[in-house]
Amino acid sequence: MSTTPGVLVARGRRQASALREMYRRGRRRRAWVRERHAQSPPLREALAGDLVATLRYRGEERPLSRSEMVAEAVRLSWVSDAFFAQVLYRGRVAALRRGIPVVPRLCHLGAMTLSQVCIGDPVVIKAGLYLPHGQVVVDGITEVGPGAILFPWTTIGLRAGNFTGPRLGSGVHVGTGAKIVGPVSVGSGARLGANTVVIDDVPGGSTVVGVPARVAGAART
């Protein structure tokens, strides 16, 4: 059965309308992401903080001039896939804030390919992040405070049906294999043991372990 010209025209209009709506949704999402990253530190500040934190934990901290900081950033990007993934993330955020297309996607693919570091577009990470290795997932409307350490195989993400992720204070240490799930708050200076699963708020300065997480030394209920 042949299709009449009127049917073809109607179909084309529906498809054009769907494409316009998809484009509008994309614009709204990009605007929302730019608004989110107004909270992110500027590129130079973020990279400098990450570099200093990485050198400190590698036992290589020392006073550096601006040119020496650039040289150290290049060196660490070469010897550490995880640090290079941080550089790509910071560049991606800078591109998102400026509304530059394509570059954010390329940076994301590079971090995923080289070190299996997956950080979602809405995630805000303050300066001073240290990733000893890769294999890190951070997703959702999540905020990671300054001076955080995320060890390998950690997941900071979402619960089903809720796009709001965790909020981590400053100086939080997330141990290997730990999971922080849903809209929970982790206080500044908290330490999460290896393979801990956090589904409730964690007090600042505490150490939590177990599945589900509990303050170390506290009695089970």
Residue 197 CA to its chain's centroid (Å): 18
Structure tokens at 88: 């790509």
Q: What is the pTM of this model?
A: 0.85
CA–CA distance, 134 with 114 (Å, rounded to integer): 9
Residue labelled with tokens 């590698």: 58
Strand partners, 197: 179
CATH-assigned architecture of domain 135-221: 3 Solenoid (2.160)
Spatial CA neighbour of 148 closest among 120, 186, 110, 111: 186
Predicted pLDDT at 8: 74
User: pLDDT by residue for the chain (221 residues), tens digit each?
Assistant: 456 777 777 777 788 777 877 767 777 777 878 888 888 899 999 999 999 999 999 999 889 899 999 999 999 999 999 999 999 999 999 999 988 889 999 999 999 999 999 999 899 999 999 999 989 999 989 999 999 999 999 999 988 888 899 999 999 999 999 999 999 999 999 999 999 999 999 999 999 999 999 998 554 44
Strand segments (E) across the chain: 117-119, 124-125, 136-138, 141-144, 149-150, 154-157, 164-168, 173-174, 179-181, 185-186, 191-192, 197-198, 207-209, 214-215
Residue ranges of domains in the chain: 35-116, 135-221
